[in-house]
Chain A
Amino acid sequence: MKHNSPFSIFNFQFWAFVKKEFFHIWRDKRTMFILLGMPVVQIVIFGFALTNEVKNSQIAVLDNAKDIASASFIAELDASRYFEIEKNLYSYNEIEAEFKKGKIKLAVVIPQHFGEDLQHFNKAQVQLVADASDPNTANQLTNYATAVIMDYQKRITNDRKLPYTIHTEIRNLYNPQLKGAYNFVPGVMAMVLLLVCTMMTAITIVKEKEMGTMEIMLVSPMKPQMVVIAKAIPYLVLSAVNISSILLLSRFVLEVPINGSLLLLVFESILFTLVSLSLGLLISSGAESQQTAMFISLIGMFLPTIMLSGFMFPIENMPLPLRVISNIVPAKWYYAIVKSVMIKGIGLHAIWKETLILTGMMLFFLTLAIKKFKIRLA
Chain B
Amino acid sequence: MSNDKVITAEQLTKRFGHFTAVDHISFDVHKGEIFGFLGANGAGKTTAMRMLCGLSMPTSGKATVAGFDVYKETEKIKRNIGYMSQKFSLYDDLTVKENMKFYGGIYGMSDKFIKEKTGYILNHLHLESEGDKLVKSLPLGWKQKLAFSVAIFHEPGIVFLDEPTGGVDPVTRREFWNMIYQASDNGITIFVTTHYMDEAEYCNRVSIMVDGRIDALDTPAQLKKTYEAKSMDEVFLKLARKATRIEI
Contact = CB atoms under 8 A, between A and B. Distances in A.
Contacts of A211: 87-88, 91
Given A216-B85, A378-B57, 8 more contacts: A1-B79, A4-B108, A15-B105, A16-B101, A211-B91, A221-B78, A221-B79, A222-B106
Given A221-B79, A378-B57, A24 B93 contact: yes
A218 B49 CA distance: 13
Contacts of B94: 20, 23-24, 27
Contacts of A218: 55
Given A211-B87, A212-B89, A219 B81 contact: yes
A72 interface: no
Contacts of A73: none
B54 interface: yes
Contacts of A27: 93-94, 134
20 contacts: A1-B109, A2-B110, A3-B108, A6-B75, A13-B108, A16-B101, A16-B104, A17-B106, A19-B105, A23-B93, A28-B93, A211-B91, A212-B86, A212-B87, A213-B87, A215-B83, A219-B53, A220-B78, A377-B56, A378-B56
Nearest to B150: A216
A298 to B, nearest CB: 24
Contacts of B86: 212
Interface string A1-45: 111101000011101110110011001100000000000000000
A217 interface: yes
Given A221-B79, A378-B56, A212 B93 contact: no
Q: List the 4 closest pairs (A to B, CB-CB), nearest first.
A: A16-B105, A212-B87, A219-B83, A27-B93
Contacts of A11: 108
The residue in A2, A13, A215 that gathers the most chain B C-beta atoms within 10 A of its C-beta is A215
Contacts of A2: 108, 110
Interface in B94-128: 94, 98, 101-110
A213 B92 CA distance: 11
Nearest to B105: A16
Nearest to A3: B108
Contacts of B134: 27
Interface in A257-313: none
A12 B108 contact: yes
Interface string B39-73: 00000000000000111110000000000000000
A13 B88 contact: no
Contact of B107 (A13, A19, A212): A13
B93 A12 contact: no
B92 to A, nearest CB: 8
A15 B104 CA distance: 12
A17 B85 contact: no
The residue in A11, A212, A219, A377 that gathers the most chain B C-beta atoms within 10 A of its C-beta is A219
A215 B49 CA distance: 12
